Structure 1
Amino acid sequence: MISKNDIFGYKPDKKYSTPVAYFSMEFAIDQSLKIYSGGLGFLAGSHLRSAYELKQNLVGIGMLWKYGYYDQLRDGNALMKPEFIEKNYFFLVDTGIVFTVPVHDAPVHVKAFLLKPETFGSAPLFLLSTDIEENDELSRSITHKLYDLNEATRIAQSLVLGVGGAMLLEILQMEPKVYHMNEGHSLPLNFYLYAKYKNLDEVKKRVVFTTHTPEMAGNESHGYGLLKEMSFFYHLQEHEVKSLLGMDGDSFNYTLAALKFAGKANGVSKIHGEVARKMWGSNPGICEITSVTNAQNKTYWKDDLLEDAFSKNNDEAIIRRKKEMKRQLFKVVADQCGKLFDENILTIVWARRFAGYKRADLVMQNWDRFIKLINNTQLPVQIIWAGKPYPEDYGAIELFNQIMNRVKPLANCAVLTGYELALSALLKKGSDVWLNNPRMYREASGTSGMTAAMNGSVNVSLPDGWVPEFAKDKENSFIITPAPDELPVEEKDKQEASTLMDILENTVIPMYYNNQNNWLKIMKQASKEIVPQFDAGRLADEYYKIMYNVL
């Protein structure tokens, strides 16, 4: 049996002695460990890194995805092509622990692997796999692809994460005081705990929940019949679940159930906390919903030379280092797109998960105006897009490819593939402007702009998610004024696209070229104000104070 000393390798700080198990479907810890898709994973990875730095008594529970999320490649026409390629990780420790989880009333064998803290500087992370010889092919496929398209497979993934994670902790004789569900994927954990304690209040004493989804359609739900058939409710019958949680109807909503099982829940920004309370507050029996704003681990994301230049207020060194980082990014642009970008030219980056509401193409909505911006040789710009759509989100894939096709003839515009931790870091370090223009109230938090600010990239953003807690227009960022809420979506898009172009044409681009002192002042102010508030050390500490130590 693997010992607790083997797991942690450090003695937890007394401040953080409460034992916590942190359940998440994805963790972005390192470029080499491809078990994440986007923002949820980036957040979980930074949380574990800061938990390690603070020596917290926290372990992560996740899944070992054989094919990861997917590899974003190009087809013969240089358009996006998702590929599923087997991954192997020789740095994971095989714990030798194999146990069974009931799925569809049949035992599925689960093997546990450990990412030790010293490997990448993270709190210990257990990863569960069903891709072992004891299982048939169907059971092995449960941990093949993150967010598998097949509904039954997705449900089985939640079972392995929630029930399997709880079982593993018992086998290890680790009894967390707090089980933290990062999003609702691990919900079956609660039915396992209910079977153990036979009392909803006992479950509430142990469970906290973080919701990340501010729109109803994005909160996962499935039919009661299928869930019962899949053993989702562990030993409970459908009518017992409805009675226990006061949830009628044919469809079972993961987020609503999590809010009824948890002792406390949080949104991931102040705005999102308000949105979540409005979304769910009318339902009887839900827990308190507070907010803990997302953050990112500065130690992982920062550039040491740029940070040193910022700390010494050395403008010459800041400019020099920023150009060096731009050249590193532009090597990737040249390699992928055959376009040579110039480190002396203002570079705008839009990079995050491709989803319709994030509006990757907002800057080009008025095509004539966009082309005029791109062709301005007096105040030149370069623009880069990157990000991964869900592999079955055909609308987002079509938008990705449409942008690719439209900018293919433009020497100063590029679309990059392979948006993972490494490319994300290059883009944040190599950009001058970090563009963020989602439809208002759709971005629960967003975190990419935080790490951009840590690396001297100035946010140009709508005031959604975390942004209002940080941004001061023309002091540490540039704010795109939202269109009135009551307008139709199309009119909002049109107005906000126009406002965005006004800001770029009249303020951002001229300042970069004509008032370098002002530009540097904004860049330095952003770097100064982004920490400690948006460093994940604050987040990890706040979870203990607000969520863990109050149950």
Structure 2
Amino acid sequence: MDSKYKTWFHTYKPEKKYEKRVAYFSMEFGIHQALKIYSGGLGFLAGSHMRSAYELKQNLIGVGMLWKYGYYDQARNRDKSLRADFVEKTYNFLEDTGIEVTVRLHDNPNVKVKAYVLKPEIFGSVPIYLLSTDVEGNDFLSRTITDHLYDGNQTTRISQSIVLGIGGAKVVEALGGADTYHLNEGHALPAFYHLRDKGVKKNQMVFTTHTPEKAGNEEHDANFLNQCGFFGRTLTMEELSNEMVNGGNLNYTVSGLRMAKKANAVSKLHAKVSKDMWRGYDNTCKIIPITNAQNPTFWQDEKLKSAWVKKNDDAFQKRKLDLKTELFEEVLNQTGKLFNPKVLTIVWARRFAEYKRADLLLYDLERLNQLISNEKYPVQIIWAGKPYPTDYSGIDVFNKLVHFTNYQANLAVLTGYEIDLSKKLKQGSDVWLNTPRITREASGTSGMTAAMNGSINVSVNDGWIPEFKKDGKNSFILPELDHHMPVSEQDRLDATNLYDILENKVIPTYYNHPKKWQKIVFNGIDDVLSDFSSHRMADQYYKELFN
């Protein structure tokens, strides 16, 4: 095998159409339950991308961070409210590459960054190079930079971007360099500054934006970033002024859009929203849509897939009952509640961000009580998800749901929302509930993997859903609201519409028309696998962004 393939630890010669060497930078990768270097959707997406790149034999590597304590371990206080635990992680399956580079962090010009590699044969992904500053010879503060994913301290977060961006770019250089450098979100932005100084051309840099609201796009005082070493060298005031927006700040997304040859948003709707968001900034590149997707090989249950291929209703329903039973063992273990596999089960599970409205079903408690106490048409509801450990409003919503469900036999809130629990929830649910305020969800991929496993999406028409939905045929969709109306009015109308759809469409169809229900389930699998497999996405990145 050609030596250049060995340096990237690929186990294959890349397919001709995927020969271009691409380095994919991401702050998190959700590649396996045991490798706890992810928090949620961004990581799940990156993990699926790395798996499909491997299965398609693409000449691509991942560049990420080896988080010593991961994101956090979700536990409970004595009253069952949320507790964030931080437990040190060790991974014997990672290999020390022997590559060590240095970056400047603040006044320290020589912070060591060590690169480990997750080889393809471990979890079936392209090689992923993971960076750590927990290296002998570094001072205490430097060693803690790679402790916590999305550290709450601003200076630490900036340092993490420098390590991923500049440290990562130097590691790729040590591996022989890349033809294209791809930033999955703006966290690794310092890579572009370093590469530009090294003579890497604009047509070699591409960028993916994920966040459809300006407040969620990272922005800091440009002078402070300069002092931190963000640009790889100290910029002159004239150079720095060229990077400034919004009164002396540097916006990671604006800079990424200015430095890249092309960028992508993560759904067609998100591309429209992004173009509007950044229209007022000059010299930004074109934004195209490449809709997110997920890897069926990893996420879809094999027996459900077999029954779907044969369109065997009985086999599918039997397997679904088994998967519901497995999920309900977890419910019983965590909450002491006995759920019934024959009862319609609704799941809301994703990151607990305020705009995602985990508690929308609690908007009208009278209607909710009618819903959950109907003996003719019983329902069970499960919530799960991780708020950021310092997002106290998100934690308050989580705890509100815990206390509300505490003595309700058919309602449960689960902890430990990571890859394994995510799989169980998607495979064991009948309905996957998605309730963001419209235009706030860039993509929202959890519904894709739920649909792959026969869970019907009940959703706001946001993110990827407009490209998938056939209301009443493969999903149930809430009427679309004007996103300019007051938030309180949006919440009231969406809650009312959600109760109506559950009471008049979803629940009666499940109990009174099981054949129609099964047809909707199969339609959902047909449509999600045809358009929302990460093989399509990984191929589209090469065709439309890298080449």
> What is the TM-score of this pair, normalised by structure 2?
0.98
2:193 counterpart (167, 191, 200): 191
- The one-character-per-residue Cα deviations of 1:33-82 (angstroms, maximum 9, x if unpaired) are 00011111010000000000000000000000000000000111111100
Q: Which of the residues 177, 182, 185 maps onto 2:184?
A: 182
Q: CA deviation at 1:313?
A: 0.9
Distance, in Å, in 1 between the alignment partners of 2:265 and 2:465 is 15
Q: Does 1:515 align with 2:513?
A: yes
The 3-state SS of whatever aligns with 1:134 is: coil
Query: Alpha-carbon deviations, 1:487-542, whole Å to 9, x = none?
Result: 21101100110000000001100110000011000000001111131000000000
1:480 pairs with one of 478, 481, 486: 478
Equivalent of 1:439, from 437, 440, 443? 437
Which of 527, 530, 533 pairs up with 2:528? Answer: 530
Paired with 1:319 and 1:238, the residues of 2 have a C-alpha distance of: 66
Question: 1:275-354 alignment to 2 at 5 Å?
Answer: 275-354=273-352
Spell out the pairing of 1:400-411 with structure 2 (5 A cutoff): 400-411=398-409
SS of alignment partner, residue 65 of structure 1 = coil
Counterpart residue number, 2:10: 8
User: Following TM superposition, by how much is the alpha carbon of 1:339 offset from its aligned partner in structure 2, in angstroms?
Assistant: 0.2
Matched, 1:361 2:364: no
Which one-letter code corresponds to 2:263 in the other structure? A
Give 1:386's match in structure 2, choosing from 384, 393, 396.
384
Please say if residues 434 and 459 of structure 2, whose CA atoms lie closer than 8 Å, have aligned partners that are also in contact: yes
Cα RMSD (Å): 1.3
Which amino acid in 2 is paired with 1:113? Y
Partner of 2:116: 113
- Match in the other structure for 1:419: 417
Q: Which moved more, 1:177-186 or 1:235-244?
A: 235-244
> For residue 372 of structure 1, what is the aligned residue in structure 2?
370
Q: Identity, % of aligned pairs?
A: 55
Runs of 4+ residues over 3 Å off in structure 1: 240-248
Single out whichever of 93-102 and 443-452 deviates more from structure 2. 93-102
Q: Shift in Å at residue 11 of structure 1?
A: 1.1
**Match status 1:170 vs 2:170:** no
Written as runs of structure 1 = structure 2, the 5 A alignment for 1:113-152 is 113-152=116-155
Asked if structure 1 preserves the Cα contact closer than 8 Å seen for 2:69 and 2:148, the reply is yes
Aligned to 1:34: 36
Aligned residues of 1:458 and 1:522 also touching (Cα < 8 A)? yes
Partner-residue secondary structure (3-state), 1:531: helix
Query: Amino acid of the residue matched to residue 290 of structure 1?
Result: I
Matched residue type, 1:291: P
SS at match of 2:426: helix
Partner Cα distance (1:342, 1:364) in 2? 22
Is the contact made by 1:445 and 1:464 (CA closer than 8 Å) also made in structure 2?
Answer: yes
Residues 233, 241 of structure 1: 8 Å contact kept: no
| C-alpha distance in structure 2 between counterparts of 1:461 and 1:502, whole Å | 13
Cα distance in 1, alignment partners of residues 295 and 281 from structure 2: 35
Letter of the structure 1 residue corresponding to residue 310 of structure 2: K
Cα distance in 2 for partners of 1:248, 1:461 equals 35
Alignment of 1:264-279 (within 5 A): 264-279=262-277
Deviation at 1:9, TM superposition (A): 1.7
Moved more, 60-69 or 103-112: 103-112
The one-letter amino acid paired with 1:389 is P
Identify the residue that residue 51 of structure 1 maps to in structure 2: 53
Query: Is residue 2:87 matched to residue 1:85?
Result: yes
CA contact (8 A) 2:5 2:13 kept: no
How far off its partner does 1:153 sit? 0.5
Compute the displacement of 1:3 (Å): 7.6
- 1:186-208 per-residue CA deviation (whole Å, 9 max, x = no partner) reads 000111112112xxxx5311110
Cα distance 1:467–1:385, how it changes in 2: closer, same or farther (>3 A)?
same
Deviation at 1:245, TM superposition (A): 4.2
Aligned to 1:395: 393
CA distance in structure 2 between the partners assigned to 1:438 and 1:532 by the alignment: 25
Report the CA distance between 1:240 and its aligned residue: 3.8
- Structure 1 residue 156 corresponds to structure 2 residue 159: yes
Shift of 1:482: 2.6
Matched letter for residue 111 of structure 1: K
**Paired residues, what number?**
544
Q: Measure the CA separation in 1 of the matches of 2:385 and 2:294.
A: 18
Matches of 2:460 and 2:270, distance apart in 1: 15
Deviations 1:337-366 (A, max 9, x none): 000000000000000000010000111110
C-alpha separation in 1, matches of 2:472 and 2:5: 53
Q: For 2:71, what is the secondary structure of its paired residue?
A: coil
State the alpha-carbon separation in 1 of the partners of residues 363 and 270 from structure 2.
Answer: 28
CA contact under 8 A between 2:227 and 2:234: conserved in structure 1? no
Q: Which residue of 2 aligns with 1:226?
A: 224
Q: Which amino acid aligns with 1:108?
A: V
CA 1:221 to 1:6, structure 2 compared with 1: closer, same or farther past 3 Å? closer
Using the TM superposition, name which of 228-237 and 21-30 deviates more: 228-237
Q: Distance in 2 between matches of 1:238 and 1:115?
A: 39
With structure 1 as the length reference, what TM-score do the two structures score?
0.97
C-alpha separation in 2, matches of 1:398 and 1:246? 36
State the alpha-carbon separation in 1 of the partners of residues 471 and 368 from structure 2: 23
Cα distance in 2, alignment partners of residues 230 and 238 from structure 1: 14
Distance (whole Å) between structure 1 residues aligned to residue 311 and residue 99 of structure 2: 53
* 1:440-472 C-alpha deviation (Å, 9 max, x unpaired): 000000100000000000000011000000010
Equivalence map 1:235-246=2 (5 Å): 235-245=233-243
Q: 1:226–1:371: structure 2 CA closer, same or farther, 3 Å change rule? A: same
C-alpha distance after superposition, 1:108-150 (max 9, x if no partner): 1111100001100001000000012211110001000001011
Q: CA deviation at 1:415?
A: 0.2
Q: Tell me which amino acid in the other structure corresponds to 2:312.
A: N
Single out whichever of 176-185 and 188-197 deviates more from structure 2.
Answer: 188-197
Structure 1 gaps of 5+ residues are none
2:210 aligned with 1:212, yes or no? yes
AA matched with 2:171: L
Q: 1:137 to 1:121 in 2, by over 3 A?
A: same
CA shift in 2, pair 1:494/1:99, >3 Å = same
SS in structure 2 at match of 1:149: coil
Q: Distance in 1 between matches of 2:202 and 2:443?
A: 26
